[in-house]
Amino acid sequence: MTLFLVALVAVEHIYFLILEMFLWTTPYGIKTFGLKSKAFAEDTKVLAANQGLYNGFIAAGLLYAIIQKDIELAAFFLICVIIAGTYGAYSTQRIKLFFIQAVPALIALLSCFI
């Protein structure tokens, strides 16, 4: 069950990578992130792509931990996700981010130690 939950968080971050790197300026990306306008999306697409790349590294770390069956490494990356999700929700004032990003990672982290 633990590996499934860690994989779920990894897949979630692959989805974030795709959204931020490739779909940011599309109607779907604009709607998903609640961006002000297409122009704003265009102006910020390089920043979003950078964010997406970091999400890809998180996913890669989680997948590597699964392949290696290294729960401690998985826990490290899950803690990173929890911190990022918590900060993202706080800094944007969108509690939804906490539930989308941090809560699944928190559940997976707890599963690592049960």
Query: What is the domain range of residue 81?
Result: 2-28+37-112
- Dump pLDDT digits (tens) for 33-78: 999 999 999 999 999 999 999 999 999 999 999 999 999 999 999 9
Residue 98 has pLDDT above 90, yes or no: yes
pLDDT of residue 114: 86
The answer to whether residues 74 and 62 touch, using CB atoms and an 8 Å cutoff, is yes
Number of domains comprising the chain:
1
What are the b/e assignments for 6-43, b being 16+ CB within 10 Å? Answer: bbebbebbbebbebbbebbbeeebbeebebeeeeebee
Average pLDDT on 88-97 reads: 93
